[in-house]
Every structure is written in C-alpha cells, then in structure tokens.
Amino acid sequence: MDKYYYLITQLPFLKFGEQNYIDNDSFLEEAKKWLSEENFKNLQEANIDDLKEKTKVKFLQEYKKFELTLRRELAAYRENKRRQQEYHSKEVLKKDLIEGNPLEVEKKLLYYRWQQIEESSKDYVFNFEAVIAYFLKLQILEKVLSFDKEKGTKKFDSLIEVEDAKIR
C-alpha cells in the first residue's frame, strides 16, 4: 500500500481540459519504479482504445464494459441517423452527448468517459485501481489536448496539396 501512496501523492492533479499533467511515457516510467512486474503489466493493459485485451483487474474490466456499451450505442445511434430513424438509448448514451459538431461531440464523450472513471474510482484512493484510473484519465487528457485547430489546419492543407498534385 505504501508504494501506491508514494506514487500517487507525487503525481500532478489532473483536471479535464487542462495541460498541467505528466505525459504517458513519464507516468509509466515512474510507475514501473513502484509497481510489481505483474501490476505494471496490468497497468499497460489500461488502454482506453483497446477493448479486446482481457484483464484480471476488476476495475479495468468494468471500465472496458462501460466503454464497449458506449461504443455500441454510438454505433446504433449513427446507424439509425443514417437511416433517418429515431434512436432511443438503451443504457449510457445521453441525448446531450450527441448534439453539436463532431469536435464538440467528441469532447463531450471524452468528458463523459472522464466522469465515469472518476465516479467508478471514488472509493479507490491509494491502491492499484487508483493508479489505473489516473492512467486512463491521463490518456483522455492527451486526446483532448491533441485537438489543436492550427495543427489540424496544417495537416488538412498538406493532404489537400497532395491530392491536388495527384489530380494534375
């Protein structure tokens, strides 16, 4: 328990949308110093984009179940929208999450995931589950902060230039 206490207390406080955080690689490097080999391996499985990997950690199993349910409902909503049919959420997808432009919707969905992690981890303070929750939130922050209009415009312009050159 004391190893978790030390690791967690030295980590910066994370706040959704704010860039005052440690990057994933630095976090994993620090966590490796304090975790057992098995727990470090389990921590590396805590990837918000990988839902296929089986895990023994109950907290991570529950998060993956939530994420899979959310993604299934999003897929069903989008399919109904494509067919111009009304969609009624079965479990987790709320109407206000899917309203707005694609960037706004993505940010709302990431914040919804953040809230889910906070709610699920509120009873875990200085244990391995708290470390996993921190890592999941760190990954969400990296996604949120990657939405940079200037970088996106440059990327879009470079793709347009390549396509224009192919057409000529």
Enclosing domain of residue 33? 2-167
Q: Specify the DSSP element, H or E, that contains 4.
A: helix 2-9
Domains in the chain, number: 1
> Could you tell me the pLDDT band of residue 167, with boundaries at 50, 70 and 90?
low
The 10s digit of each residue's pLDDT in 75-104 is 888 888 888 887 777 667 777 788 888 899
Q: What is the pTM of this model?
A: 0.82
Residues 6+ apart with CB under 8 A from 135: 24, 27, 28, 31, 43, 46
State the average pLDDT for the chain.
86
Separation of alpha carbons 34 and 47, rounded Å: 20
